[in-house]
Every structure is written in structure tokens, then in C-alpha cells.
Amino acid sequence: MNLPKEYLQTICQQAIAEDVATGDATTLAIVPPNLHTSAEFVNRQQCVCAGMPLLEILFKELCSDLELDCLVEEGQLCEPGTVMAKVEGNARAILTGERTALNFLQRLCGIATLTRKYVLSLGESNCKVLDTRKTTPGMRLLEKYAVKMGGGQNHRIGLYDRIMIKDNHRELAKLLGPDSISLAVKACREKYPEREIEVEADNLDEVKAAAEAGVEYILLDNMSAQTMLEAIEIIAGRAKTEASGNITLQRMPSLSRLGLDFVSIGALTHSAPAIDIGLDIKK
């Protein structure tokens, strides 16, 4: 997944403006304007690296002379105490950008690290881990990028790149007639013939209706393992299957044995704990 440079510049500029506003009062009062220094990003706990391309742009936005040296690869597992990157240049700019840089890095590494745990929990299964649209507003591309760095895959990026007929869509589609799933699928095919279609199914009757409507994906929402097995049998290869809802790390090994194509997990982006990373000034 590529992160457009213009997007990264915009999000860095917004973050700097939010934190700095009229100026970093403490740093401006204490640190001489021409002082040169270096600092190291060091993780205090095991993590998967994600976010270095953003940090490079962030520090250039603060001072064009700042140099960031990334010492680990994106997606690399870093043991505690790893020097992940070094930044060198104007001391005022480094201190001003410290918290913003750490906020981004801790958040993205947290998502990548949690994603890796879910991916590993599937073992040798062919089932893939997906993210969702449950992301921080304004940070979706960054957070989905972090999922990729953790070994997961991206579901649709937004409302525009895949049709997904959810429960509320089905309720409103009943205005079209009693067979709401087939009618909704037909309407979507006519309006957007090039788009893939996914239907969220809450029970086996809806699974059957979705499979018969010829959709590409069927989301099995909040189903037990036994119900998902029955759903997979009904679908019989006519659509890709995705489990979602109440997906925990503890459930993943059992889900890996059902024959699912995907498992989508909102917690990857809405509940990933931040990684403890520090920025240490080198004297």
C-alpha cells in the first residue's frame, strides 16, 4: 500500500499546527537557536515497525536540515531496546517534533504489532486477516498501512471501492420488496457493474439468499463456529467467506480450521495499544 507524499505532508502539517501553534514556548526559552544535537528512537517493548516514512516527512516539515536515519525496516520485528532510528540537526526542531513523532510512531507500531499477533494466531491456515473501516478519522490510510506492515490485508479503503450491503441497507431495501437481498444486489449491479459486492449475513437464510444472488463475498456476522461451518457448506464455493464480529485472539486458532477465506477485525485499528517508544537525546 503506497502512502502518497502529499497526504503525508498534509497530515504532518496538521499535526504540527495542532501542537505548536504560535511556538514551542519551553524550547524557545531554553534551547539556543543554533544548537545542533542528535537523538535516538528506542522501543521499550517488542514491536513491529511502522511509520518511518511519515517521520521522515515530519522532521523535514519542522526543519529542512534535519536528517532521519532509519535503522530498521518497515514491518521488522524489533526487540526491546532497539534503536529504531536516529535524527540529527537543529535541537529546537527535534524537541518541537518529539511528541508528534512519537504519537505517530507509537500508534502505527501498535497497530502493526497487534495485527502480527492475529496473523500468527492463524498458524498455517490459508485464511487471511483483514482490517475494517473502524479507523481514526483522517488517519485511515496510515492505519491501514500499519495493518499491512503487520502482515494483514486491507479490506475496502472506503465506501467507494467495494459495495457492502449491511443490515441497515437490507432494512431499507425492504422498501423495494420482500426479497431485500436479491433486490439490493440487483440494484447495485445495475448502478455499479464494475464493483465487487459483499453481503453481510446474520443468519443462514440470509447466507443462502446472498449466495443465490451471486455476490463475490459473504460476511458471516457474529456467528458461532458451528453456524459458520453450515454457512460455508451452503455457500459451496460460490462466494468468498469472511467472519466478523466478536473476533478475539483466543478464537483465532479455532476459526483457522473452518475453511474461511478471511477474518476481519475492527480491533486492529480501534483498540490497538500504543507501543512504548522513547526519544533519547544524545549528549
Residues serving a catalytic function are 99, 134, 166, 200, 221
Phi, psi of 277 (to 5 degrees): -130, 140
- Measured distance CA(41)–CA(44) in Å, rounded: 10
User: At residue 13, what is the residue type?
Assistant: Q
Count of residues in the chain: 283
- Measured distance CA(152)–CA(135) in Å, rounded: 15
Helices 140-149, 91-121: inter-axial angle, 10-degree rounding = 60
Cell of 44: 521499550
Q: Smallest Cα–Cα separation from 132: which of 115, 116, 117?
A: 115
Beta-carbon contacts of residue 4 (< 8 Å; ≥ 6 apart) = 141
The helix (H) or strand (E) run that includes residue 233 is: helix 225-235
Which stretches does DSSP call E strand in the chain? 36-43, 47-48, 67-70, 77-78, 83-90, 128-130, 163-165, 197-201, 217-221, 240-244, 262-264, 277-282
- Which parts of the chain fold into alpha helices (H)? 5-20, 25-30, 52-62, 91-121, 140-149, 167-173, 180-191, 204-213, 225-235, 252-255, 267-270
Cell of 141: 490510510
Helices 5-20, 91-121: inter-axial angle, 10-degree rounding = 120
